[in-house]
């Protein structure tokens, strides 16, 4: 299996990044990833203020997928996420939502073992590994790896985990897929500004889909399908995710606008992915059983 190492890291999703590896449609590829701090924080006496900011949010790649052309969709099946043995969190004045309540910086090292992450002496939780940053290159100007958008990027969606399938737009030849910013565990919202940030490795299968009308980014797991949308405000992200799913229901399930809206209002769950990045991200989730009832199958 092709493995892409962390020395290929990029800090911008851009058509100008030279591909570091090439895969055929249907190939399985492993991306080794640094944590979102570029693995600079090894102990609790290293603080946010001491970070080299040029090394923040590294993504591994980009991978060139043969046959991927603008207008196609890149299907990324997340087969496996392996994690390092410890994660890290930081905070400081002004960071995230809760940064208003702190007057100093703090770093927490969180051991990860046997499928559990230790938060403190009293609290341990089962891990739920996810990918914070995953995307393709935008058509025009590059986008910083810390920012989400129509190309994917720093979406920080807790559902982008093992067993899920992510559909991303192909904007440039080869798609130029890159990823990083794994979390051992994160709550919806990522309110303090980070999850349990951790290095690791992600194994994916990449497939080029021609003539695929899915709104992107789009994610499917064993229970739900969801449209993901990022915008400058949480309000706009919420509207975008909702209308993206509304358009999916009309185009793919052939519902009329009334039926689609009513269905979303009855069983659609509008959720916050994150409210701490330069653009905010929401998702609209619908049970997969609806697609099954309508005989719709995801490519
Ligand atoms: Ca992130
Ligand atoms: Ca992160």
Instruction: Give 3's pLDDT tier (boundaries 50, 70, 90).
Output: very high
Specify the residue for token string 């492993």. 30
Residue range 110-133: mean pLDDT, rounded? 98
Q: Of the bound ligands, which one is closest to the alpha carbon of residue 277?
A: 1
Q: How far is the CA of 74 from the centre of ligand 1 (A)?
A: 21
What confidence score (pLDDT) does residue 143 get? Answer: 98
Q: How far is the CA of 146 from the centre of ligand 1 (A)?
A: 7
Q: Of the bound ligands, which one is closest to the alpha carbon of residue 273?
A: 1
Q: How far is the CA of 211 from the centre of ligand 2 (A)?
A: 33
Q: How far is the CA of 37 from the centre of ligand 1 (A)?
A: 10
User: Residues 250-289: pLDDT tens digits?
Assistant: 999 999 999 999 999 999 999 999 999 999 999 999 999 9
What confidence score (pLDDT) does residue 262 get? Answer: 98
Residue 13 CA to residue 145 CA, distance in Å, equals 6
Q: How far is the CA of 252 from the centre of ligand 1 (A)?
A: 31
Q: How far is the CA of 57 from the centre of ligand 2 (A)?
A: 8
User: Residues 4-37: pLDDT tens digits?
Assistant: 999 999 999 999 999 999 999 999 999 999 999 9
Residue 47 CA to residue 94 CA, distance in Å, equals 14
Q: Of the bound ligands, which one is closest to the alpha carbon of residue 230?
A: 1
User: Residues 28-72: pLDDT tens digits?
Assistant: 999 999 999 999 999 999 999 999 999 999 999 999 999 999 999
Residue 217 CA to residue 270 CA, distance in Å, equals 15
Residues around ion ligand 2, judged by CB within 5 A, are: 36, 132, 181, 194, 197
The percent of residues in the chain predicted with pLDDT above 90, rounded, is: 100
Q: How far is the CA of 36 from the centre of ligand 2 (A)?
A: 5
Q: How far is the CA of 56 from the centre of ligand 2 (A)?
A: 10
First-to-last C-alpha distance (Å) of the chain:
23
Q: Of the bound ligands, which one is closest to the alpha carbon of residue 33?
A: 2
Residue 206 CA to residue 189 CA, distance in Å, equals 28
Contacts of 19 (CB under 8 A, 6+ apart): 61, 62, 63, 64, 174, 176
Q: How far is the CA of 154 from the centre of ligand 2 (A)?
A: 8
Residue 8 CA to residue 61 CA, distance in Å, equals 6
Q: Exposed/middle/buried for 105, CB within 10 Å: 0-12, 13-18, 19+? A: middle
Residue range 68-88: mean pLDDT, rounded? 98
Q: How far is the CA of 273 from the centre of ligand 1 (A)?
A: 10
User: Residues 178-206: pLDDT tens digits?
Assistant: 999 999 999 999 999 999 999 999 999 99
Summary mean pLDDT of the chain: 97
Q: Of the bound ligands, which one is closest to the alpha carbon of residue 197?
A: 2
Q: Of the bound ligands, which one is closest to the alpha carbon of residue 89?
A: 2
Residue 182 CA to residue 57 CA, distance in Å, equals 10
Q: How far is the CA of 200 from the centre of ligand 2 (A)?
A: 13
Token pair, residue 85, equals 């043995």
């Amino acid at each position: 299996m092709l493995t892409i190492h962390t020395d290929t890291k990029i800090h911008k999703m851009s058509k100008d990044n030279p591909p570091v590896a090439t895969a055929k449609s249907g190939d399985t590829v492993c991306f080794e990833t640094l944590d979102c701090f570029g693995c600079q924080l090894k102990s609790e006496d290293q603080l946010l203020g001491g970070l080299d900011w040029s090394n923040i949010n590294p993504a591994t790649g980009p991978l060139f997928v043969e046959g991927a052309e603008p207008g196609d969709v890149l299907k990324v099946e997340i087969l496996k996420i392996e994690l390092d043995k410890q994660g890290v969190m930081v905070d400081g004045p002004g960071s995230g939502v809760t940064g208003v309540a702190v007057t100093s910086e703090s770093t927490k090292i969180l051991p990860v073992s046997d499928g559990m992450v230790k938060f403190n002496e009293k609290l341990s939780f089962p891990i739920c590994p996810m990918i914070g940053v995953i995307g393709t290159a935008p058509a025009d100007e590059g986008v910083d790896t810390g920012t989400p958008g129509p190309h994917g990027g720093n979406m920080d969606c807790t559902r982008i985990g093992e067993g899920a399938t992510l559909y991303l737009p192909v904007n440039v030849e080869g798609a130029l897929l890159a990823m990083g910013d794994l979390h051992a565990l994160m709550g919806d919202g990522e309110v303090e500004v980070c999850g349990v940030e951790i290095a690791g490795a992600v194994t994916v299968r990449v497939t080029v889909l021609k003539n695929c009308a899915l709104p992107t980014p789009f994610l499917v797991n064993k229970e739900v399908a969801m449209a993901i949308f990022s915008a400058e405000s949480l309000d706009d992200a919420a509207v975008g995710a909702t209308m993206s799913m509304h358009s999916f229901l009309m185009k793919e399930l052939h519902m009329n606008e009334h039926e689609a809206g009513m269905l979303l209002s009855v069983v659609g769950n509008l959720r916050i992915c994150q409210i701490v990045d330069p653009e905010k991200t929401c998702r609209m989730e619908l049970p997969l059983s609806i697609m099954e009832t309508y005989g719709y199958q995801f490519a």
